[in-house]
Amino acid sequence: MNTNKSVCEQQNFNFLYEEHIDQLRNFLYYKCGDLDEAEDLAHESYTKLWEKCAEVVWETAKGFLFTVAKRLFLNKVSHDKVVLTFEKENPLKDKSEDPHFVMRGEEFKAKLEEEIGKLPERQRTIFLMNRIDKMSYKEVAEALDISVKAVEKSLGKVMKKLRGSIDELNKYKI
Amino acid sequence: MENRDTDTIIAKWLAGEISDEEFVQEESHETLEAMKLIASEVEQWSIPPVDKVQGMARLQERLDQTKQEAKVIPLGRRWITGIAAAIALIAVSYLVFFNSDDLMQYNTVAGELEVIELPDGSTATLNSSSSLSYAPKSWPKKRRLKLKGEAYFEVAKGSTFTVEIDDSKVEVLGTKFNVRKRQQFLSVECFEGKVGVTISNSDSTSVILAGENIQFDGSDLTRGRTEDIKPIWIDGNSTKFKNAALGDVFEALKAQFGITIEYDPKVDLSRKYSGSFVHSNVETALRMVCDPLSLSYKKAGSDNYQIY
């Protein structure tokens, strides 16, 4: 393990950029719903990391980035309801053959996106970091500085809420 | 199976830690199907990744910009390769330094502290949601800074050192002191040496000595004593007040947490408050201020609170 790598070396700093920029930008996107703003704030976080590079220990650099990003975001005002859109890999793969859940792909996607946008900011962020960025519960917990247990609870709550809203959608269709 | 709640079971199933069969035992078959439907839909979603090459170029541009404003940066930390480039940069910053009146400016956001080293070795610690600027060109002759918000200064011996905050100013000769002005509330605390405070362009200057403080709420001036050897907020864990106007305390809360506060008309903001609030949690902090004064707060929006 490289325990004494310096964040101040350009090569190492670049590595941190390549390694975490997507997760960090997405994290901010889940909070604010604006990709450009998210990237801007993510870059701002890296600027702070560079300024403090001599004080930040290599192993804690990722945590530092997320903490700074969170603080920068605190300054932004409205983020209660956001509009999030996602790309879908292969829209043809529609396996909802069960008649109970017949919903055409696009409609279902739009409904889920809408419901996710309405979730409380924290639950939404946790859910998407795990589902979209494939961060393990432990990674999410570390990035947000909360317990794994709290991550699990939030995920369960989100899944139940989303389930409730698709049930509702079904009810109207029948 | 041990006693587990639904949320945790769903999360464990989602992570593949428990199987479909186990899940159905705890929950229903329909729940499983619904969860699968959601999970497999979201599974196919993605966000276009950041263009790393372009992104890095933009970041670099930003870093170069900050560097021009920033303090001295060790040579080893420079992006720019080649000594020629480094020399060119030094030449440019020399020109910027001595041939223009460009201000050095530092800003902090909510929850952030920044320690700034000034050219004479004095330091300023900038509290949350504050800004500090000075003109490097005239610094050697006249040590003068402009402050918004709050900062703690440890001043090296030398010529006069002046902090201007809106239309008030604080003048010192080698000392440690804290200045805060949020809205109309001005507070100056002296920890070592002595400082002179001139409020709102008035003709008279109040002198305060080590262990003393002065507070001005826009109309009345009060003097008090302080036992601390430096401001409590410096450690980043909490902020402490002694006999401060309630309005001033709420301004500090707003700056620390980046929240907005609305007051019920019956709340008297000129009441005095002594106590502290923590930086770890906004609601705990609000409670620490409201409870002793028999006030209540409620959340009125994502970063908005009402005091009544």
For residue A157, list chain B residues with Cβ-Cβ distance below 8 A: 7
Residue B220: CB partners within 8 Å, gap ≥ 6?
A: none
Q: What is residue A143's three-state secondary structure? A: helix
Nearest-neighbour CA in chain A from B79: distance (Å): 7
Over residues B83-100, the pLDDT tens digits come to 555 555 555 554 444 444
Domain that holds residue A36: 10-74
Out of B55, B112, B303, closest to residue A21 by CB: B55
CATH of the domain at A128: 1.10.10.10
CA distance readout (Å), B117 to A13, A17, B71, B133: 24, 28, 7, 12
Q: CA nearest A109: which of A126, A125, A86?
A: A86
ipTM of the complex in this document: 0.85
Architecture of B237-307 per CATH?
A: 3-Layer(bab) Sandwich (3.55)
The answer to whether position A81 is within a domain reads no
Same domain, yes or no, for A156 and A123?
A: yes
Beta partners for residue B154, in sequence order: B123, B176
C-alpha to C-alpha distance for B88 and B142, rounded to whole angstroms: 29
The answer to whether position A169 is within a domain reads yes
pTM attached to this predicted model: 0.49
For residue A53, list chain B residues with Cβ-Cβ distance below 8 A: 77
Question: Which of A81 and B239 is assigned the larger pLDDT?
Answer: B239
Same domain, yes or no, for A109 and A168?
A: yes
B68: its two tokens? 């021009």
For residue B76, list chain A residues with Cβ-Cβ distance below 8 A: 8
For residue B34, list chain A residues with Cβ-Cβ distance below 8 A: 101, 163, 166-167
* Domain locations along chain B: 6-43, 50-100, 103-236, 237-307
Same domain, yes or no, for A104 and A58?
A: no
Nearest-neighbour CA in chain B from A142: distance (Å): 17
CATH class, range B103-236: mainly beta
Tell me what the mean pLDDT of segment A126-137 comes to: 95
Q: Residues 3 to 22 of B: which have CB under 8 A from any A CB?
A: 5-12, 14-15
**pLDDT winner (highest mean) among A116-130, B73-87, B218-232:** A116-130
Interface contact A39-B34, CB threshold 8 A: no
The answer to whether position A29 is within a domain reads yes
The answer to whether position A87 is within a domain reads no
Over residues A55-97, the pLDDT tens digits come to 888 888 999 999 999 888 876 655 556 888 888 865 444 455 5
Judged by average pLDDT, the poorest of A72-76, B5-9, B112-116, B263-267 is A72-76
